[in-house]
Amino acid sequence: MIVITGASGNIGSKIATNLLSQGQGIRCVARTEGKLKELEGKGAEIAAGSLDDIAFLTKAFGDADAVFAMIPPNYMASDFRAYQNIVGASIAEAIEKASVKYIVNLSSQGADLPDKTGPIKGLHDQEERLNRLKDANILHIRPTYFMENLLASVEMIKKMNIIGSALRGDMQFPMIATKDIALFASERLLKRDFTGILVRDLLGQRDISITEIAEIIGSKIDKPDLKYLQFSYEDTKQALVGMGLSEDVSRLIIEMSTAINERLIMNTPRTKENTSETSFEDFAEIFIRLIKA
């Protein structure tokens, strides 16, 4: 049995589908039962509940040979670091109580740093928390910036013909499709070919700038004049708050954007091992459906 947290999310749902296609028994964890029904229909067990509920999680991890563990985003949290600590501690305690031997932990580029990385600091702390567990083999996967983050720009593209964020437009940095993360995690969960504590960087197909990304999307949707615009940190923060994110989460996103712009993070050297297949050109097909819909 393999247990997947965040199983209706970007990565979890893809891991679940991969493992089901291999005939692997899985249990899918998320709060909203309705979003897990499709996986249940394909043969998964489902466990609806919250990751901060230690008793629920210990039961869900009960007979697990391996767990895919993640701290999901909570954009409304008034104190995001406190939220990450509660969920992170709950996951660690449930792993210990259920004596799970193999953990693939979703971390991030930048989790090697103790500070100045916004929400990633919580993942640094979670790596350390899990490293203190006895008798568990732990693989921390540290993916780079998700291509899926760009999907938040769909309305801006439709209404204003721009993509905008606080990130520098000219700077190439690694970007990954969540399908590549899920593929790597699925293989490790199935093979359980890691011992002790290991870290694995996942950098996607190549480094790319958001200016290049705007050109690629523009060419796919017949908007060759689609432009990338870098917003100031303050304007971006106000926009995030306006979209309903908490002050604290918005502040942390700006801290992370600053860390990316100043190359404090996402500067891991690229190798064959940390490079994967999906190009932004392939991923961008999704924009055709979303924008022309």
Ligand X SMILES: NC(=O)c1ccc[n+]([C@@H]2O[C@H](COP(=O)([O-])OP(=O)(O)OC[C@H]3O[C@@H](n4cnc5c(N)ncnc54)[C@H](OP(=O)(O)O)[C@@H]3O)[C@@H](O)[C@H]2O)c1
Nearest distance, CB of residue 21 and ligand X, angstroms: 19
The pair of structure tokens assigned to 270 is 């690229």
Provide the token pair at 54: 């230690």
What is the contact mask toward ligand X in residues 123 to 142, using x (rule: CB under 6 A)? x-------------------
For residue 263 the two structure tokens come to 């190359």
Helix-helix angle 80-97:247-261, to 10 degrees: 90
Amino acid identity, position 105: N
DSSP E strands: which ranges in the chain?
2-5, 26-30, 45-48, 66-69, 102-106, 137-143, 145-146, 162-165, 173-176, 197-202, 207-208, 227-230
Task: Specify the 3-state DSSP secondary structure of 255.
Answer: helix
User: Nearest residue by C-beta to ligand X?
Assistant: 9
What span, in angstroms and rounded, lies between the C-alpha atoms of 24 and 177? 23
Nearer to ligand X, 10 or 209 (CB): 10
Minimum distance, C-beta of residue 146 to ligand X, in the bound complex (Å): 4
Query: Residue 51, interface with ligand X (CB under 6 A)?
Result: yes
Window 153 to 172, contacts with ligand X (CB under 6 A): none
Nearest distance, CB of residue 123 and ligand X, angstroms: 6
- Candidates 144-152, 161-169, 224-232, 263-271; binding stretch for ligand X (CB under 6 A): 144-152
What is the SS3 assignment for 202? strand
Using rule CB under 6 A, residue 251 touches ligand X: no
Identity of the residue numbered 12:
G
Residue 260 as a binder of ligand X (CB under 6 A): the answer is no
**Cβ-based nearer residue to ligand X, 157 or 176:** 176
Binding of ligand X by 276 (CB under 6 A): no
Choices 67-75, 166-174, 246-254, 284-292; region in contact with ligand X by CB under 6 A:
67-75
User: Residues in the site for ligand X, rule: CB under 6 A?
Assistant: 6-12, 30-32, 35, 50-52, 70-73, 106, 108, 123, 143, 145-146, 149
